[in-house]
Amino acid sequence: MYYLDNSWSEKIKLWNMLYVSESELYKRGKLIQKNLGTPDGLSVEATKAFVGGGALPESDIASVAVIFSSSFSPNKLMKEFRDLEYPIIGRIDNDRFVLDLKAVETDDLPYLEQSIKKIFQKISC
């Protein structure tokens, strides 16, 4: 139906998320970083997101991510984020834990920010 009435880009979440610009993702990442007090070891960088398997297993798209430096154990971070009440799934790339903002809906940004803060407090104890 959405394809017939040409509302697919607004009504289907996947398409809506895929169309978020890199500049908007960068703004979101920088705001998260600022709200957390610009902690050492946390950066906002350009990256590549992957659409998924099936017909597009190797198709990548430009994205922006919140990235934890290699001074943090990426495996420990992955576990901490997955163990949250509402798990957050990231990936490990070049021995760094990556949270790709292309996969985060606007409404979920406060939870992501709160979760990063919580995990930073936990791992720095």
Question: Could you read off the pLDDT tens digit of each residue along the chain, which spans 125 residues?
Answer: 666 666 656 665 666 666 688 999 999 999 999 999 989 999 999 998 877 666 666 678 889 999 999 999 999 999 999 999 999 999 999 999 999 998 898 899 999 999 999 998 888 75
Amino acid residing at 25: L
pLDDT at 85: 94
| pTM score | 0.84
CA neighbor of 26 nearest in space, from 77, 59, 71, 67: 67
Helices (H), the chain: 8-11, 13-18, 22-35, 74-82, 109-123
Question: What is the reported pLDDT for 101?
Answer: 95
Dihedral sign computed on CA atoms, order 15, 19, 24, 25: positive
Q: What is the pLDDT of residue 31?
A: 96
The pLDDT value given to residue 54: 63
Phi-psi region for residue 49, left (φ > 0), alpha (ψ -120 to 50) or beta? beta
| Predicted pLDDT at 50 | 75
Q: What are the chain's domains? A: 21-123 (3.90.1150.180)
